[in-house]
Amino acid sequence: MTAPTRGEDESQAPVIAEFVDTTKRFGDIVAAERLNLQIRRGEFLSFLGPSGCGKTTALRMLAGLETPTEGRILIDGQDMGDAPAHRRPVNMVFQQYALFPHMTVAENVGYGLRQRRPRMDRAEIARRVDRALETVRLSDFGPRRIWQMSGGQQQRVALARAIVNEPKVLLLDEPMAALDAKLRGEMQMELLSLQRVLGITFILVTHDQQEALSMSDRICLMGQGRIVQIGTPRDLYDRPANRYAAGFVGSANMLDATVQSTADGQARVALADGSSVTVFSAGDRAAGDRVAIAVRPEALRLSVSDSVDAGATGFAATITHKTFLGEHIECLLHHPVLGQLQVNVPRQAERSLPGADVGRTVHVLWDHGSGLILGQD
């Protein structure tokens, strides 16, 4: 059987791990509340959310390091029940790596294989350890001691120590958090290609939305112990379920509006200043409903002329801040009724905006179809 390809076929891949109404409480703290999630074989899924939202807890319940207070965990169709960590076919890359300081790199990597009963042949262990070290590009480092390795190298040792066991699911708890930006970028690429080569299901925990967006097939966005939204990175970015999702994944302008009319998943809404725009609308909305609208800063445009092309709505606002961020310029504007707006102006577009400096009043253009109505809560 070949590893499932990424993309559309994934929905057909069998479920490899599943949370069923899984809840974990620590005393009064509800770390994870009624999680329901199916993870498919070969997919790269990320748990995304701010610190303390229960990502690690969810991962640890899969690994068997925490027991759910309620609900179930299934791995490859089997109810894990109270199965202890050492009997589960998953492996974890720990947040601070947790490498054994009294063993060499090779001994660390071979640890899981040495636990197999009946015992695995020593030569076979050595062979697989070599191959795993090669995979993470640490071929010559086997005899080294852990403290002789840099942070990035230790991270790869931790990775090799997990993948050498060919787990059904590889769990990664913020594996890149301790690396500097450049190394983190490289490691993200490496992880991705590794996952493609190995065809193992990866579950990554991260609080970094950029990391989740760039690496995942699907993202499970969490907030305060609950799953807020599950979907592809594009789903989450283009169709955030609610205010929280819109604000956490990327940034968004959020505005109050009143529905005027609806048709074919689109809605015409009136903003607080009276101007009206067409936005995407997923749920059932009726004229007169008060709703929240989100629009991405890069979906808005600025103009120094007063002409508004057909298919766009425009309103005047005053530039209060301009921040140069390389590929784009982040502009904060103030509108007397709508409040603060953020517009990201691409580098090339800046040239067509002479004199658009702080203090200047310009036109903000909102193309019809940009933005969407957010779900409740």
Partner 1 sequence: MAISRHKARLLLLGPAGLWYAALLVLPLAVVLVYSFGERAAAGGYAPAFTLAQYANLGSRWAAFKNTLVLAPAGTLAALLIAYPLAYFLAVRVNPKWRTALLVLVIVPFWTSILIRSYAWIYLLGGRGIPTLLADLGLGDWRLINTPFAVLVGIVYGYLPLMVFPVYVSLEKLDKRLLEAAADLGAPPWRSFLQVTLPLSLPGVATGSMLVFILLMGEYLIPQMLGGGKVFFVGNALVDLFLQSRNWAFGSAMSVTLVATMLVVVTLYMRFLKRIGAARDDIGVM
Ligand X SMILES: Nc1ncnc2c1ncn2[C@@H]1O[C@H](COP(=O)(O)OP(=O)(O)O)[C@@H](O)[C@H]1O
Q: Does 55 bind ligand X (CB under 6 A)?
A: yes
**Of residues 35, 377, 33, the one with CA closest to residue 220:** 35
- State the Cα–Cα distance between residues 191 and 18, nearest whole angstrom: 23
Six token digits for residue 171: 């769990």
Compare residues 52 and 81 and give the one whose CB is closer to ligand X: 52
Q: Does 92 bind partner 1 (CB under 8 A)?
A: yes
Q: Does 166 bind partner 1 (CB under 8 A)?
A: no
Stretch that binds ligand X, among 46-54, 112-120, 163-171, 261-269 (CB under 6 A): 46-54
DSSP annotation string for 83-152 = --GGGSSEEEE-TT----TTSBHHHHHHHHHHT-SSPPPHHHHHHHHHHHHHHTT-GGGTTSBGGGS-HH
CA atoms within 13 A on the CB side of 89: 14
Count CB-CB contacts under 10 A for residue 326: 6
Q: Does 31 bind ligand X (CB under 6 A)?
A: yes
* Least distance in angstroms from the C-beta of 87 to partner 1: 8
Q: Does 51 bind ligand X (CB under 6 A)?
A: yes
Q: Does 92 bind ligand X (CB under 6 A)?
A: no
* Least distance in angstroms from the C-beta of 308 to partner 1: 59
Residue from 22, 56, 91, 201 touching Mg ion (CB under 5 A): that is: 56
Residue from 42, 64, 142, 175 touching partner 1 (CB under 8 A): that is: 64
Q: Does 135 bind Mg ion (CB under 5 A)?
A: no
**Of residues 371, 359, 309, 370, the one with CA closest to residue 333:** 359
- Residue whose C-beta lies closest to ligand X: 56
Q: Does 177 bind partner 1 (CB under 8 A)?
A: no
Determine contact, residues 275/313, Cβ cutoff 8 Å.
yes
Those residues with Cβ within 8 angstroms of residue 344's Cβ, 6 or more apart along the chain or in another chain: 297, 298, 300, 328, 329, 330, 331
Six token digits for residue 206: 């991260």
Q: Does 54 bind ligand X (CB under 6 A)?
A: yes
Query: Coil, strand or helix: which one is 253?
Result: strand
Q: Does 100 bind partner 1 (CB under 8 A)?
A: yes
Residue from 3, 30, 65, 120 touching partner 1 (CB under 8 A): that is: 65
* Least distance in angstroms from the C-beta of 233 to ligand X: 19
Compare residues 222 and 341 and give the one whose CB is closer to ligand X: 222
Return the DSSP state at 355: T
**Of residues 366, 363, 250, 348, the one with CA closest to residue 317:** 363
Six token digits for residue 202: 């990866």
End-to-end Cα separation, the chain, in angstroms? 44
Count CB-CB contacts under 10 A for residue 189: 11
Interface size with Mg ion, residues (CB under 5 A)? 1
Six token digits for residue 268: 């015409």
Residue from 85, 120, 126, 178 touching partner 1 (CB under 8 A): that is: 85
* Least distance in angstroms from the C-beta of 371 to ligand X: 30
Q: Does 64 bind ligand X (CB under 6 A)?
A: no
Q: Does 272 bind partner 1 (CB under 8 A)?
A: no
Q: Does 161 bind partner 1 (CB under 8 A)?
A: yes
Q: Does 84 bind partner 1 (CB under 8 A)?
A: yes
Stretch that binds partner 1, among 37-45, 85-93, 247-255, 356-364 (CB under 8 A): 85-93
Q: Does 188 bind Mg ion (CB under 5 A)?
A: no
Give the residues lining the site for partner 1 (CB under 8 A).
63-65, 84-87, 90-92, 94, 96, 98-103, 107, 111-112, 114-116, 161-162, 165
